[in-house]
Structure 1
Amino acid sequence: MFSIMLIEDDMTLFQEIKDRLSQWSYDIIGVQDFSNIIPEFTASAPDLVLIDIQLPKFDGFHWCRIIRSHSNVPILFLSSRDHPTDMIMSMQLGADDFIQKPFNFDVLIAKIQAILRRVYNYNTDRIELRTWRGATVEYVKNTISNEKGAVELTKNEMYILKILIEQKNQIVSREELIRSLWDHEHFVSDNTLTVNVNRLRKKLEILGLDPYIETKVGQGYKASEEVLSL
């Protein structure tokens, strides 16, 4: 059974979400102290976090930032606001997805299932290590390192990198990436992918690898690798 921490201060909505998700055998964990969420997060060690943006004391962005400093647990934002900047901000802070209230519960469940399947299934692949342009990519640890250092990636960032380097020197369409990440284009905006790729590039910049994730306008992305001449 997967556990989900639901950080929502509207108790009516909290109970409704809990009841619906419990029908899918998810263990729903609430928050008692909205002024200090981290001790409860650490103690419960959830498999996924659902978090509202508008919360008492501190907003969801604040807690996303703090959680990300402790853990790579997948995070799905809930918001009643319709500002595009909210979604962009959540992605930049390391969230995995975003859903606007009021939402269809079937869509919410589909998003949760897609995230859990992606995060907790793909690490069972037999291949755990890859080398790319002299760097060591560790899928299980979500890290990439070379002589310049090491960086830790989020689950989304690693999965994007994994798909690209498994098809190195080939253009991977945006549609293929979206389908692989979120199962179906209907459940994610095109901009979400852009934000995740840009965030991945920013981290790869530390290792001097950012130029090798190429954007092919109107087509997709490519992870380039040196091709040896015979």
Structure 2
Amino acid sequence: MFKIMLIEDDLTLFREVKERLTQWSYDVFGVEDFGKVLQEFTAIQPHLVIIDIRLPKFDGFHWCRMIRSHSNVPIIFLSSRDHPTDMVMSMQLGADDFVQKPFHFDVLIAKIQATLRRVYDYGTDRVELRTWRGAAVEYVRNTVTNGEGAVELTKNEMLILKTLVERKNKIVDREELMRSLWDNEQFVSDNTLTVNVNRLRKKLEAIGLAVYIETKVGQGYMATEEADAP
């Protein structure tokens, strides 16, 4: 599930937007303290930020600048201000889109979906996010997140999981996994791969996913996934 941080001080609008986005299965977070937006952003780690320009204490441009100094997360401005300089400023600060109030919800949803597809599916000529067993596997952040929490993986652990998840319900032999990690398996001991898989399982155990990395004796490993509903 994608997490969206909605930085909007109009409580009525916030509730309305949150309700509509929740209907589209997005997980929406608001801001409790408009003086600590960056701290809350860091705690939430959203996949996308929607931000108004007019905000208490500091405007949206300030927080866009602060977020951009820490993250490349996609940002969409949502504002009643319609001066061209506001749109130009938004883009110069690294925003991905600008939606003017009043707006049609279908337009906002379409822009959100397009931005998420571009960033997480096609952003860098490779997929940046996969879903597996209801969890978001984010290759760039090296994280796996589901309703039970989030775990951070090492580069090698993520490479193993990435290889398995992209071949869900298929056995990946040990040699292929070693090639994915070190390009040439002759430089890697068989025990090294076992150690890395065990460490990966240990971390996934914290969010209930370890049992879905299966060992196929004499063959390799497999990430299992529930069959699609008919």
TM-score (norm 1): 0.54
**Cα offsets for 1:156-203 (capped at 9, x unmatched):** xxxxxxxxxxxxxxxxxxxxxxxxxxxxxxxxxxxxxxxxxxxxxxxx
Shift, 1:114, TM fit: 0.1
Give the match for residue 35 of structure 1.
35
Instruction: Supply the distance in 2 between the matched residues of 1:86 and 1:105 (Cα, whole angstroms).
Output: 21
Give the match for residue 13 of structure 2.
13
Instruction: Supply the distance in 1 between the matched residues of 2:96 and 2:67 (Cα, whole angstroms).
Output: 13
Q: Which runs of 5+ in 1 are unaligned?
A: 129-139, 142-230
Identity of aligned residues (%): 77
Distance 1:16 1:126, change over 3 A: closer
**Cα offsets for 1:62-96 (capped at 9, x unmatched):** 00000000000000001101101100000000000
Q: Structure 2 matches for 1:45-56, cutoff 5 A?
A: 45-56=45-56
Give the match for residue 64 of structure 1.
64
Instruction: Supply the distance in 1 between the matched residues of 2:96 and 2:35 (Cα, whole angstroms).
Output: 23
Q: Which runs of 5+ in 2 are unaligned?
A: 129-138, 141-230
**Partner AA of 1:42 in structure 2:** T
CA RMSD of aligned residues (A): 1.9
Structure 1 segments of 4 or more deviating over 3 A? 123-128
Distance 1:33 1:110, change over 3 A: same
Question: After alignment, is 115-124 or 28-37 more displaced?
Answer: 115-124
**Partner AA of 1:69 in structure 2:** S
> How many residue pairs align between the two structures?
130
Give the match for residue 103 of structure 1.
103
Instruction: Supply the distance in 2 between the matched residues of 1:58 and 1:100 (Cα, whole angstroms).
Output: 20
TM-score (norm 2): 0.54
* 1:4 corresponds to 2:4: yes
Shift, 1:126, TM fit: 5.5
For the pair shown, which has the larger CA radius of gyration, 1 or 2? 2
